[in-house]
Structures are given as C-alpha cells and as structure tokens.
Amino acid sequence: MTITPEHGHLTRVHAPEGVSPGTGYSHVVWGTGRFVAVSGQCAFDEKGEVVGEGDAAAQARQVFENLRRCLAAAGATFDDVVKLTYFVTDVAHLPAVRAARDAVIPADRLPASSAVQVAALVRPELLLEVEAFAVVPAQPPATAPARP
C-alpha cells in the first residue's frame, strides 16, 4: 500500500492493499482541519453566460477556474481538494476534464474522484459539471473571509 502524507494536513492512498491502482486519482484521501464543500460548478462566466458552447475543453477550463475561485473564498486551494465528482453528458468529455484538472493539480496530489455520465445538466449547452470537497488546515488563513 502506498501512503503519501503531504501538504501537512492531508494523506493520500493511491493504491490500498488488494485494490488495483487508480488511473488519474487516489483511492483514499483523508485529512485534519476544516471541511469545505464546493457546489457543482458549470462553465458560466461572472455574468452567467456559458463559456465554450459545444467545446468540452473550454468548458472544463472555465469549470476549474470557477472551482479555484470558490475554493479561494474558503481560504483553500487545489492542494486542499480531497474529492472531485465529475458529471458529464458524454464520457468522451473526460479527457478534456482530466487535462483541465491536470493543469491545476499536480499528479502527486490527485484527489479521490468519481465520474458519472448524466442525461442532461441544468442547461442543454452545458457538457459538464464538477463539485469539490476540500480539507483546509484548522486555523483559517488570514485572508479567509470573516464569518458573520
């Protein structure tokens, strides 16, 4: 079994004993700290317009940019992500999703993940949606937004 402690508060198990190694994800990730859940993000820009209609790669890049911004709002980064869930209207979009993910998450810090093909998303021109779970150190960073 390969266990990789990293980022101080997270541990990843890429291949638990008796489980075939995953391709492009960790089977198990755990950590200590604050739990952050980021709702599924679609390829909307700041005005609510769809970015990359018909282009899975462009949509995936926008989705990961939206995830980055949402994580930052909680004082988190992609280094803190422990789980990603991909919802795609066609599994053929997964290579584009992985390319966008690989641009922001190093291969040695891959989170656990699931991919699900769905019949449709909230709007017909959307090809994918990604949600994230993260664990950040227990002490919020100085730049984290104040809680009401």
Q: Is residue 144 part of a domain?
A: no
pLDDT for the residue 121 = 98
CATH number reported for the structural domain that contains residue 75 in this entry: 3.30.1330.40
Calculate mean pLDDT across residues 11-27: 88
Sequence-separated (6 or more) residues with CB below 8 Å from residue 135 = 9, 10, 30, 31, 32, 33, 34, 35, 36, 80, 82
Q: Is residue 8 part of a domain?
A: no
Structurally, the chain folds into a number of domains equal to 1
CA distance 57 to 27: 25
Residue-number span of the structural domain to which 44 is assigned? 32-136
Q: Is residue 69 part of a domain?
A: yes
Q: Is residue 98 part of a domain?
A: yes
Q: Is residue 97 part of a domain?
A: yes
- Find where tokens 């990789």 sit: 4
Going by C-alpha positions, the residue among 89, 93, 126, 97 that lies closest to residue 113 is 97
Q: Is residue 16 part of a domain?
A: no
Q: Is residue 65 part of a domain?
A: yes
Q: What is the pLDDT of residues 64-88, one digit of tens each?
A: 999 999 999 999 999 999 999 999 9
Q: Is residue 22 part of a domain?
A: no
Question: Is a pLDDT exceeding 90 seen at residue 100?
Answer: yes
Q: What is the pLDDT of residues 118-134, one digit of tens each?
A: 999 999 999 999 999 99
- pLDDT bracket for residue 37 (50, 70, 90): very high
Average model confidence (pLDDT) across the chain = 90
Calculate mean pLDDT across residues 13-23: 87
